[in-house]
Structure 1
Amino acid sequence: MKRSDADRLSDVAPPPDCRLCGRLAAFRDENSRSRPSWHNGPVPSFGAPDARFLIVGLAPGLQGANRTGRPFTGDAAGDLLYATLSGFGFASGNYDARKDDGFELVGCRITNAVRCVPPQNRPTGAEARKCRAFLRSEMAGLSNLAAILALGRIAHDNVLAALDLPRGAYGFAHGARHDIAPRLAIFDSYHCSRYNTNTGRLTAQMFGQVFDDIRNHLNASARS
């Protein structure tokens, strides 16, 4: 019997008590003791397994996804991301910064290069490498994948590494598009963090232009 994308993706998520990265596991344990009602575990991907569009962030935020258990849910980065997804037809329902708010993605899926919250919101290169098998399997399990959005340079570099593509051939730049297969392209954006939006490095208009490019690519690839 042919296995579905959902079956394949369920096999590649890290276990709830993943211990691959000692520093991250210790930080989760610390947060579990001080904040026992929080998720405090590897944050699973969010969205349908038949999605054509995958968004890759860096890692869960301490008071966002690590608290709520859903990527980009509960922090300022998620406020901009989910509003933009809704505006471009990639989501339905009302986002209320809770895992059980009924908000759903449409043709889209969200994951992180590193699944566990890191201290100071900064995973090490070794931690990203240890988590890369999950990112690689995530992308391989999406049989309809046509577009990947990398949020920030580190996510971009990890997407390339997971796809065994040379970093030097595909440089990161906000708004860049990299065609890596006949129907698959990587798009880059500055991360939608509070810091980037507060400093003006990333505006809602800049972010929206990237999503407009992605939507146009998805429409064109569906017709070809």
Structure 2
Amino acid sequence: MKNLQQTSQFHLNQWELTDRIRMEDFNGDNQKLETALASLAAADAAEQQARTAQDAAIRREAAAAAEAVPLVKLLEVPVTQEAAQVDVDVSQIDFTQYTEVWIVPILSTAYHYIYLRCNNIATDSYFHPGSHQNYLCRLEMSGLLGQGKAKIRLATYLSPIACICEHIYDTSNPPYYSTIPSIAPKDLKTLNFMTDAGTINGEGKIILWGWKL
């Protein structure tokens, strides 16, 4: 009996109408297919295992890198509606875990100032060198309708909290120093922004960054 024709690469049998059909030919082809498919499955499993291990290693490296960076973003609050007062809930933040917390208010108003108060305290409970006042710090708008950019640094490793307000858009304006005698870091719950008159425009955001201990 003549030999069956076979495929060029995997040598699987190719029948013609005149060929005799034999069980061993079928079984031989099936065994070749079984061996090839098992090899492919093993290679795929090994590749998947290697990818999983590589992904885990990358995640560990990323976590270690994030842990090594002391500055972390704590909160970002969009301001999308005009309001007389914008309140930021910070009760979920453990301020005792940070040496400093930076507050970046990117806000706008048609009026002269934007003030920051804490825990909705509106009395003369904030101390500025030589005087008491009813706000923690004041962002000078100079009467401009635009974004009042400033960085407010809270020294949260101190009790009570101390504050330094630095104006970004106006470097001629010196840093503004103040404290909140009645508020320890663990007691800070809300940040309250308001204007001296009118409203804060419905555009902008307030961002908090923390320097980890």
- Work out whether the TM-score is over 0.5: no
Query: Which of 1 and 2 has greater Rg?
Result: 2
Query: As a proportion of its length, which structure holds more helix?
Result: 1
Asked which structure has the greater RCO (Cα within 8 Å, sep 6+), the reply is: 2
TM interval, shorter chain, is under 0.3
What's the TM-score, normalizing by structure 2?
Answer: 0.26
What's the TM-score, normalizing by structure 1?
Answer: 0.25
